[in-house]
């Protein structure tokens, strides 16, 4: 494999892995706090699925990089500016409606991505995606169902999800960005075309928002930077909590 | 402090039945709360099938189940206790017949 291709693939796996890890950690913060016991278990199930995807993707990233970094090393020994996750994933939970909106916007992207990535020319990515897509199909069913219930629900639930949509909309553009490295992966049939993902995402989001009787915010200026390591202040706090134990007790084992 | 929200009602209770594999019948595994049947199925999936327990889920509103009265236990079930002739234990089963 050429060094350029290798570098591009490493970056690609890292971005996907980091996004899953950070979002999975965010959802895990609901453990013991969700509005209903059943929903508590549902949210933490999704969190575990996402951390599972992150493990596979970060392990693969470390393997491609070839510098002996494993999943734990990548997850626990990098600081904010080395993380490559979408800014959407690191946004705080706020209320349940806000969490559901964040999750739905992400899930709608992830289900389109992994569905296509399962046919990737890279057999490892294809394998990871084939496993992930089954879980992500359930995630999007869960978050879409809730968005419809809350949007088409009471005045309070409706106001909260409408507010979250406005608040989070500017973070959705980053999911469809592309750079030169990714262009080579798209051309090689390794990564799906972000433009195609955007079309499919728009269709899905529009259908669910309509059923939820919510207005789609207008596309305006979009936040960017997460994919290059420029993050909001929230990620530092998240990593401080997530990385505390391995930082304080290096090489601790179960 | 805000006054308590008196509108809040608990979600209805559903009884959950899971078929562990094809060919077996659905078995009662427990109950949960959900706003409607679809949510009951989703919640059952998350609460009761995390470890590969099933291939099919039934969710039944607990209010729809007609149950026998425990205080009538004696009249309903005890008469059967001394009628052992109702058990098919008096037949000789040919050795060639299996699976009885």
The verdict on B57 touching A (C-beta cutoff 8 Å) is: no
Fold of A3-248: Ferritin (1.20.1260)
Angle between helices B37-48 and A123-151 (to 10 degrees): 140
Shortest distance between the Cα of A241 and any Cα of chain B, in A, equals 27
On the question of pLDDT at A63 being above 70, the answer is yes
Beta carbons of A31 and A200 less than 8 angstroms apart: no
Mean pLDDT over each residue of chain B, to the nearest integer: 86
pTM: 0.88
Task: Decide if A170 contacts A220 (C-beta within 8 A).
Answer: yes
Average pLDDT value for residue range A180-205: 97
Instruction: Identify the residue with better confidence: A98 or A35.
Output: A98
- Nearest beta carbon to residue A45 from set B11, B38, B50: B50
Structural domains in chain B? 13-64+72-86 (3.10.20.520)
List pLDDT tens digits, range B4-31.
555 557 899 999 999 998 889 999 999 9
* Of B35, B38, B46, Cβ closest to residue A42: B46
Interchain contact, B43 vs A138, CB within 8 Å: no
What's the pLDDT score for residue B94?
84
**Chain A partners within 8 Å of B33 (Cβ):** 36-38
The pLDDT of residue B8 is 56
* ipTM beyond cut 0.85: no
Number of A–B residue contacts, CB under 8 Å: 26
Residue B29 DSSP SS3: strand
Q: What is the mean pLDDT of residues B60-84?
A: 89
Cβ-defined contact of B33 to A141 (cutoff 8 Å): no
Does residue B88 register a pLDDT over 90? no
Q: Touching check for B59 and chain A: CB below 8 Å? A: no
pLDDT grade for B51, boundaries at 50, 70 and 90: confident
Closest to A42 (Cβ–Cβ): which among B11, B33, B42?
A: B42
CA dihedral B92, B97, B98, B100 (to 10 degrees): -50
Q: In chain B, what residues touch A138 (CB-CB under 8 Å)?
A: 45
pLDDT per position as a tens digit, A21-58: 999 999 999 999 999 999 999 999 999 999 999 999 99
* B39 contacts chain A (CB < 8 A): yes
B37 touches chain A (CB under 8 A): no
pLDDT score for A78:
97
* pLDDT value, residue B1: 45
Q: Pick B50 or A220 by higher pLDDT.
A: A220
Q: Which residues of A touch B (CB under 8 A)?
A: 36-39, 41-42, 45, 138, 141-142, 145, 149
pLDDT at position A252: 84
Question: Mean pLDDT of all residues in chain A?
Answer: 96
Question: Which residues neighbour A197 within 8 Å (Cβ) at sequence distance 6 or greater?
Answer: A109, A112, A113, A116, A175, A176
Residues A27, A35: Cα–Cα separation, whole Å: 13
* For chain A, percent of residues with pLDDT exceeding 90: 95
Alpha-carbon distance B83 to B77, whole Å?
11
């Amino acid at each position: 494999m050429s060094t350029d291709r290798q570098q591009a693939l490493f970056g690609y796996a890292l971005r996907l892995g980091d996004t899953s890890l950070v979002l999975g950690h965010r959802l895990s913060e609901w453990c013991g706090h969700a509005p209903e016991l059943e929903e508590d278990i549902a949210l933490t199930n999704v969190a575990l699925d996402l951390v599972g995807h992150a493990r596979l993707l970060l392990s693969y990233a470390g393997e491609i990089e070839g510098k002996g970094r494993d999943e734990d090393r990548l997850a626990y020994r990098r600081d904010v500016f080395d993380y490559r996750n979408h800014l959407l994933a690191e946004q705080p939970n706020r209320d349940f409606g806000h969490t559901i909106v964040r999750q739905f916007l992400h899930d709608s992207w992830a289900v389109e991505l992994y569905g296509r990535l399962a046919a990737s020319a890279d057999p490892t990515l294809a394998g990871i995606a084939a496993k992930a897509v089954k879980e992500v199909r359930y995630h999007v069913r869960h978050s879409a169902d809730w968005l419809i219930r809350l949007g088409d629900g009471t005045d309070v639930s409706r106001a909260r999800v409408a507010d979250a949509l406005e608040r989070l909309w500017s973070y959705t553009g980053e999911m469809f960005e592309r750079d030169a490295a990714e262009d080579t992966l798209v051309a090689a049939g390794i990564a799906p075309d972000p433009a195609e993902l955007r079309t499919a995402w728009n269709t899905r989001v529009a259908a669910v928002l309509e059923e939820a009787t919510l207005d789609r915010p207008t596309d305006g200026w979009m936040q960017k930077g997460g994919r290059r390591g420029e993050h909001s202040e929230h990620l530092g706090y998240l990593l401080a909590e997530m990385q505390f134990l391995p930082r304080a007790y290096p090489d601790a084992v179960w | 402090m805000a006054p308590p929200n008196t509108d809040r009602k608990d979600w209805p209770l559903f009884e959950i039945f899971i078929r562990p594999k094809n060919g077996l019948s659905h078995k009662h595994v427990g109950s949960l709360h959900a706003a409607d049947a679809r949510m009951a199925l989703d919640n059952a999936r998350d609460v009761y099938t995390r470890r590969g327990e099933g291939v099919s889920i039934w969710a039944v509103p607990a209010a729809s189940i007609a149950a026998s009265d425990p205080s009538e236990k004696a009249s309903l079930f005890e008469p059967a206790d001394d009628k052992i002739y109702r058990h098919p234990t008096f037949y000789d089963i040919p050795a060639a017949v299996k699976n009885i």
